């Protein structure tokens, strides 16, 4: 076991001092803050990633520089473990502690304690692969990250400007290369080939889908979707919009998956583009979330969110498993969060086991791994489907006794290729939705009619310190500030089918309030009344008090 290269780390660390008093927290999806305060954090994450790789016996670890759905001025960084999943949560605490060491000396001593506590064998190699989205602050932050790699002596591969899900794909592909569990060729070309070939096989004999309008949120999804379109060629006509990645301030602005979910409106830029009945979808800034929507014949907007995607996909997979004659061998389950619409939970739970966990893909992913086929989608459009390795082996070794069984088994095998099983992937999920719609001969209206959403509203509240908000029961109950949950309950009981909860965001400096009720007006009113109560309890500047309905 060698020792840490303290001299080298000191030299580099002095180039990346912690200049801001801000408290850095490895939250729902890594560190996420205004890009200008993150230089020291990126440097330290570079070192941490090297150590994570050493701890994992030299396997490749991923780093993504992105702030996903956040505004363009924010940026962030998240680490990806060797199997392509989010960083193990036990290391999040170390990441937070290291990021907050105020001087190089403190950083070094914390680092030494951490290496000791984790018993990291420093003689092991360190390998990382990293990428960034299109944010203007990205290049400088990547330079800080690279200094971290140099300081710890990590072998680093730059995957350039790409989506978060592609980075996750690359990590898994690199680490499974040459093994029985080979995930695919470890390149963007490998990713596009894997997805497009599976898609074409699944659509064989089905009519070509009508053109799909894709809002790329003016982010990295734009160039990546354009490349995907080349691989798919005529099999999937796509109309890419909001592709202005070089326009300052355009990223996620009045467009993108988060805009769709929180405003429940069509992006203004699509007003003149979208025709009644036409399918449209929005990606977010790093293309890991997907929201569908359409205008009905009266020009009215309808949203098809992560819950609707889960319902569509789950019912299709259940049917295929039955048709394959494997319903007694394959345990399928769905994982949601408290944000799941009450109607979706009702729809799904009559068909499958449904589990509710805390917000954050890492929680959903781990819960989904308990099933042979685990389907998870957050209402915000972030999700995927996991096929256990054992089930994939069963599927490939199956001896079907009828043609119908053989077709169903092949479809399941191809679905496991089409779906990016490492993490939510807007483009892979989009192809999945298109496959199911084609197999069902559904348009948006038929898909939407699987169940009727309870009207709901999501509101952000700016408070002085969101850290005072603590929750339990998969974030459905507030335990702090004391007494606030009782007020939420009292208000919710005043509305038909009223349900609401409050939780601190892990990616933005806000508290989120979710409410649903029997009518749209009631859901809006409940959300804003609770937002007001939250604000009165913990708010700051009175001009930020949520005003609607109060």
Local structure of 105: helix, strand or coil: helix
What stretches of 475-547 show up as alpha helix (H) in DSSP? 484-493, 520-538
Decide if 30 contacts 70 (C-beta within 8 A).
Answer: no
Q: Please report whether residue 420 would count as binding ligand G16 according to CB under 6 A.
A: no
307 marked among binding-site residues: no
Is 525 labelled a binding residue?
no
Site for ligand G16 in 186-225 (CB under 6 A): none
Q: Consult the annotation and say whether 284 binds a ligand.
A: yes
For 461, the enclosing helix (H) or strand (E) is strand 456-461
* Contacts to ligand G16 from residues 82-101, by CB under 6 A: none
> Is 506 annotated for ligand binding?
yes
75, 388, 422, 507: which one binds ligand G16 (CB under 6 A)? 507
Which of 261, 466, 512, 529 lies at the binding interface for ligand G16 (CB under 6 A)? 512
Interaction residues for ligand G16, span 4-43 (CB under 6 A): 28-29
By C-alpha distance, which of 512, 240, 199, 175 is closest to 358? 512
Ligand-binding annotation for 512, yes or no, is: yes
Is 379 assigned to a binding site? yes
CB-based contacts of 322, cutoff 8 Å, min separation 6:
none
Among 59, 127, 289, 411, which residue interacts with ligand G16 (rule: CB under 6 A)?
289
Q: For residues 367 and 529, what is the distance between their CA atoms, to the nearest angstrom? A: 33
> Locate tokens 């203004």: which residue?
268
| Identity of the residue, 70 or 522, whose beta carbon is nearer to ligand G16 in the bound complex | 70
CB of 37 to ligand G16, least distance (A): 18
Task: Quickly tell me which residue has 């979706």 as its tokens.
Answer: 344
Q: Which stretch binds ligand G16 (CB under 6 A): 131-139, 264-272, 281-289, 520-528?
A: 281-289
Residues within window 381-410 making contact with ligand G16, judged by CB under 6 A = 382
Q: Which stretch binds ligand G16 (CB under 6 A): 103-111, 154-162, 385-393, 507-515?
A: 507-515
Long-range pairs of 19-23 with CB within 8 A, sequence gap ≥ 24? 23/100
Residue 279, marked binder: no
> Which residue of 370, 506, 545, 549 would you call a contact of ligand G16, by CB under 6 A?
506
Q: What is the DSSP string of 284-326?
A: -TTS--EEEEEE-TTS-EEEE-HHHHHHHHHHHHHHHHHHTT-
Q: Is 156 helix (H, G, I), strand (E, B) or coil?
A: strand
**Which residues from 47-76 bind ligand G16, rule CB under 6 A?**
68-69
Radius of gyration over every alpha carbon of the chain, rounded to an integer in angstroms:
23
Smaller CB separation from ligand G16, 288 or 307: 288
C-alpha span between 221 and 89 (Å, rounded) = 28
**Segment interacting with ligand G16 (CB under 6 A) among 247-255, 264-272, 284-292, 489-497:** 284-292
- Candidates 186-194, 345-353, 374-382, 492-500 — which segment interacts with ligand G16 by CB under 6 A? 374-382
Please answer whether residues 389 and 169 qualify as being in contact, where contact means their C-beta atoms are separated by less than 8 angstroms: no
Count interface residues toward ligand G16 (CB under 6 A).
Answer: 18
**Helix H or strand E segment including 356:** strand 354-356
440's tokens: 């069902």
Active site includes 68? yes
Question: Alpha-carbon distance 66 to 86, whole Å?
Answer: 14
Q: Find out whether 38 and 77 touch, Cβ atoms under 8 Å.
A: yes
* Residue (35 or 360) nearer to ligand G16, CB: 360
Nearer to ligand G16, 380 or 422 (CB): 380
Question: Based on CB atoms, which residue is closest to ligand G16, 361 or 527?
Answer: 361
Tell me, residue by residue from 329 to 368, as one string, x for binding to ligand G16 by CB under 6 A and - for no binding.
------------------------------xxx-------
Catalytic residue among 13, 68, 358, 492: 68
Can you read off the two tokens belonging to residue 44? 């330290």
C-alpha separations of 150 from 28, 128, 180, 347, 492 in Å = 28, 11, 33, 52, 54
Of the candidates 207, 215, 209, 208, which has an alpha carbon nearest to the alpha carbon of residue 274? 215
Q: Is 131 helix (H, G, I), strand (E, B) or coil?
A: strand
CA torsion 67-68-72-76 (nearest 10°) is 10
The smaller minimum CB distance to ligand G16, of residues 34 and 506, is found at 506
Binding residue (CB under 6 A) for ligand G16 from 378, 434, 525, 537: 378
Q: Which is nearer to ligand G16, 69 or 529 (CB)?
A: 69
Give the interface with ligand G16 as residue ranges (CB under 6 A). Answer: 28-29, 68-69, 284, 288-289, 359-361, 378, 380, 382, 505-508, 512
Annotated binding site for Mg(2+): 68, 284, 286, 288
Annotated binding site: 68, 284, 286, 288, 378-380, 503-507, 512
Which of the residues are catalytic?
A: 68
């Amino acid at each position: 076991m060698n020792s840490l290269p303290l001299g080298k780390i000191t030299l580099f660390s002095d180039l990346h001092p912690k200049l801001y008093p801000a408290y850095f927290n490895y939250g729902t999806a890594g560190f996420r803050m205004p890009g200008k305060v993150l230089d020291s954090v990126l440097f330290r994450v570079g070192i941490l990633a090297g150590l994570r790789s050493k701890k994992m016996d030299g396997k490749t670890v991923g780093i993504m520089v992105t702030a996903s759905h956040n505004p363009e001025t924010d940026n962030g960084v998240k680490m990806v473990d060797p199997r392509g999943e989010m960083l193990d949560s036990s290391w999040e605490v170390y990441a937070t502690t290291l990021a907050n060491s105020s001087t190089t000396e403190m950083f070094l001593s914390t680092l030494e304690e951490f290496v000791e506590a984790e018993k990291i064998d420093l003689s092991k190699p360190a390998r990382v692969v990293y990428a960034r989205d299109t944010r203007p602050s990205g290049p400088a932050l990547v330079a800080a990250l690279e200094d971290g790699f140099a300081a710890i002596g990590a072998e680093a591969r730059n995957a350039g400007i790409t989506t978060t899900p592609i980075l996750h794909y690359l990590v898994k592909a690199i680490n499974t290369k040459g093994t029985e569990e080979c995930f695919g060729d470890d390149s963007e070309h490998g990713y596009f080939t894997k997805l497009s070939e599976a898609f074409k096989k699944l659509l064989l004999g089905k009519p070509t889908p009508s053109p799909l309008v894709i809002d790329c949120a003016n982010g990295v999804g734009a160039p990546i979707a354009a490349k995907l379109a080349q691989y798919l060629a005529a099999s999937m006509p796509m109309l890419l919009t909001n592709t202005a990645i070089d326009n300052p301030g355009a990223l996620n602005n009045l467009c993108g998956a988060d805009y769709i979910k929180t405003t429940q409106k069509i992006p203004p830029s699509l007003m003149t583009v979208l025709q009644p009945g036409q399918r449209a979808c929005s990606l977010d800034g790093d293309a890991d979330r997907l929201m569908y929507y359409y205008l009905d014949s009266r020009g009215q907007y309808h949203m098809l969110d992560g819950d609707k995607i889960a319902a569509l996909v789950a019912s299709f997979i259940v049917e295929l498993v039955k048709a394959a004659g494997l319903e007694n061998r394959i345990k399928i389950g769905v994982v949601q969060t408290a944000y799941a619409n009450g109607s979706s939970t009702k729809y799904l739970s009559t068909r499958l086991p449904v589990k509710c966990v805390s917000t954050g893909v890492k929680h959903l992913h781990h819960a989904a791994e308990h099933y042979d086929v685990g389907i998870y989608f957050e209402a915000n459009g972030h999700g995927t489907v996991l096929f256990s390795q054992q089930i994939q082996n069963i599927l490939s070794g199956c001896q079907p006794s009828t043609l119908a069984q053989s077709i169903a088994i092949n479809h399941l095998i191809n679905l496991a290729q089409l779906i990016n099983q490492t993490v939510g992937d807007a483009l892979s999920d989009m192809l999945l939705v298109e496959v199911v719609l084609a197999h069902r001969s559904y348009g948006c209206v038929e898909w939407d009619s699987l169940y009727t959403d309870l009207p709901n509203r999501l509101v952000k509240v700016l408070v002085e310190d969101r850290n005072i908000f603590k929750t339990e029961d998969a974030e459905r109950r507030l335990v702090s500030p004391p007494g606030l949950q009782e007020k939420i309950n009292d208000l919710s009981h005043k509305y038909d089918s009223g349900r609401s909860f409050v939780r601190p965001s892990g990616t933005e400096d806000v508290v989120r309030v979710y409410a649903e009720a029997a009518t749209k007006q009631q859901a809006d009113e409940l959300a804003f009344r609770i937002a007001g109560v939250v604000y009165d309890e913990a708010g700051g500047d009175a001009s930020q008090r949520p005003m609607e309905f109060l």
